[in-house]
Structure 1
Amino acid sequence: MLDEKRDLRRKTFKRIGLSVVYIILGIWAVFTFVPLLWMLSSSFKDSSAITAVPPELIPKRPTLDAFKRIFEVGGMARWFLNSTIVAGVSTIINVFFAALAGYAFSKLKFPGRNSIFWILLSSMMIPGQVTLIPLYILVVNTFQLENTFVGLIVPGMISVGSIFLMKQFMSSLPSSLIDAGRIDACSEFGIFWKIILPMSKPGLAVLGIFTFVGHWNNFFWPFLVTNTNSMRTLQVGLTSFRFENLQDYGAMMAGAVCSAIPMIIVFLALQKYFLKGITIGAVKG
């Protein structure tokens, strides 16, 4: 009898605890969603409605003027194309070379493997601001890559974090298939291409999401190495919506909505792999 009462009490406390957690998460979700709703709502307002007091969460007179301005006046199409090229090429290069390095560090045995890997990991402790000035001097002054796609892509085309992610994921793959491929006289690159990559689709998808979103939202480096309207990326271009020394908030919100669409599409297409990114780093190599 006492055991039944204890079990009932535990279940009651558990339900109460879960209810409290769900309520807190629900409130947090609302506070997180409101700025997104405000951004979407403001993109369909005119300037007077955006600054109106009290604010209008749902526009009374929706208009598409802000979207027309960003494409007709601001050069939105060019910035969108630049961001697509930079983010797309950077993602493909980063994922491919990170997978190659991850395969080498996880499955190949060569002198100094662990030492090289730990040296790479230690470089992650160096803040990016420390290397920013030397990198800028190297790219702009030495190689004259200002206002070029090469200058935008090359500095960020591979990262130690990506190598670590793929190394940890590939460490969990069975080595027996690799040994079978070597017995069948398959080359190391053939093993990597035909055996490792197909089994690494979850890790590649997660890395692709993180890399694409990071490069798509990158602002500071493109801001440094571009000074012409035709080479600006989307995030840099959105800051230039100023007319007669006034910021056009409607155009900025419309541009932000357009900027969010590719990330939403990428996430929805690969969402089944997204949660795996939480556990990949927990695998011991």
Structure 2
Amino acid sequence: MSRFQTVLRAIVLTIGALAFLFPFYYMIIGSLQTEPNPTPAGAFPDPSNLTLDNYTQINERIDLLQGLVNSGIFTGGVILGTIVFGVLAGYALAVLQWRGRGVTFALALLVQVVPFQLLMIPLYVMIARDFGLADNYLGMILPFAINSTAVIIFRQYFLQVPKELFDAARIDGANEFRVLTRIALPLVRPALLTVVLLTFIGPWNEFLWPFLITKEAALQPLAVSLANYISNVAATASNPFGAVLAGAVVLAVPAVVLFIVFQRYFTSTNIGSGVKG
């Protein structure tokens, strides 16, 4: 590309990045303002109007730290279940030969078109009434522990691994579990990171299911606590707008940090390098 094209591309990408980041910037600035300023000038406030009082006020009404811990437990349990079951199911669908494999994969694809809201009522009856897991971390986690999207992602990655690697390991006496953990998993690390990030966003921001299954405030994830705060007590705050934005910042920061830390690992790997041509 010419120098002009390079400069033009940099300008366009910079403008796009600024437009994308501006709402996040405005959320942070709004959470720090003592007096709300809904005008465009509010995006560039007077430093004397900036304070942490909004964070203090919302923390007095809802325990932000406990909400973060609850969200972390909920999200961590979902990620663990997604990784374990996704890897095992993806490996079985991609590598192992067994009757009904094609039908099972078709069902996994079919699940993608079924909205979770359609299953919510029977899931609630089963988990809350039959299993007695209302107001329980396990009750929050179970409906999300198996993710068909993760199964499909792992299957596609395992299909790209040369079969010769598996055959060589089996000839050396390795069982299927050892082949999976020692041969297949190290070669599909990008899939693991992709699934972790994609899975994290869902349960971390999930509101409806934790709201239905938990009534005790001490067990509710931060997203539910913030919704209850907005509905019930936000109007009593000196700056309701700033307090709500402060809670949104607390909820958003872990997701942003996670992406910043792991985004550099999103590089493709040459999974065929283990086989000589």
TM-score (structure 2 length as normaliser): 0.86
Letter in 1 for 2:20: T
Matched with 2:262 is 270
Matched, 1:206 2:194: yes
Given that 2:36 and 2:242 are in contact with CA atoms closer than 8 Å, whether structure 1 keeps it comes out as no
Matches within 5 A, 1:186-265: 186-241=174-229, 242-243=232-233, 245-246=235-236, 248-265=240-257
Report the Cα distance in structure 2 between the residues aligned to 1:210 and 1:271, rounded to whole angstroms: 12
Report the Cα distance in structure 2 between the residues aligned to 1:29 and 1:269, rounded to whole angstroms: 18
| Aligned-residue offset at 1:22 | 5.8
Quickly say closer, same or farther: Cα 1:191–1:56, change in 2 above 3 A. Answer: closer
Given that 2:68 and 2:221 are in contact with CA atoms closer than 8 Å, whether structure 1 keeps it comes out as yes
Quickly say closer, same or farther: Cα 1:56–1:103, change in 2 above 3 A. Answer: closer
Q: Which deviates more from structure 2 when the two are superposed, residues 96-105 or residues 252-261?
A: 252-261
Quickly say closer, same or farther: Cα 1:118–1:195, change in 2 above 3 A. Answer: same
Deviations 1:44-67 (A, max 9, x none): 112x23456853533432111112
Letter in 1 for 2:253: I
Q: Could you list the runs of 5+ residues in structure 2 that have no partner in the other structure?
A: 269-277
Letter in 1 for 2:67: W
Matched, 1:148 2:136: yes
User: Secondary structure of the equivalent of 2:173?
Assistant: coil
Matched with 2:29 is 41
Quickly say closer, same or farther: Cα 1:52–1:118, change in 2 above 3 A. Answer: closer
Q: Could you list the runs of 5+ residues in structure 1 that have no partner in the other structure?
A: 1-10, 277-285
Q: Which deviates more from structure 2 when the two are superposed, residues 265-274 or residues 48-57?
A: 48-57
User: Secondary structure of the equivalent of 2:97?
Assistant: coil
| Aligned-residue offset at 1:69 | 2.3
Matched with 2:271 is none
Quickly say closer, same or farther: Cα 1:190–1:204, change in 2 above 3 A. Answer: same
Aligned residues between the structures: 264
Matched with 1:122 is 110
Quickly say closer, same or farther: Cα 1:26–1:268, change in 2 above 3 A. Answer: closer
Given that 1:139 and 1:145 are in contact with CA atoms closer than 8 Å, whether structure 2 keeps it comes out as yes
Matched, 1:58 2:50: no
| Aligned-residue offset at 1:166 | 0.6
Matched with 2:272 is none
Matched with 2:84 is 96
Report the Cα distance in structure 2 between the residues aligned to 1:275 and 1:240, rounded to whole angstroms: 40
Q: CA RMSD in A?
A: 2.5
Q: Which deviates more from structure 2 when the two are superposed, residues 56-65 or residues 256-265?
A: 56-65
Report the Cα distance in structure 1 between the residues aligned to 2:181 and 2:26, rounded to whole angstroms: 46
| Aligned-residue offset at 1:26 | 4.2
TM-score (structure 1 length as normaliser): 0.83
Rg comparison, structure with higher value: 1
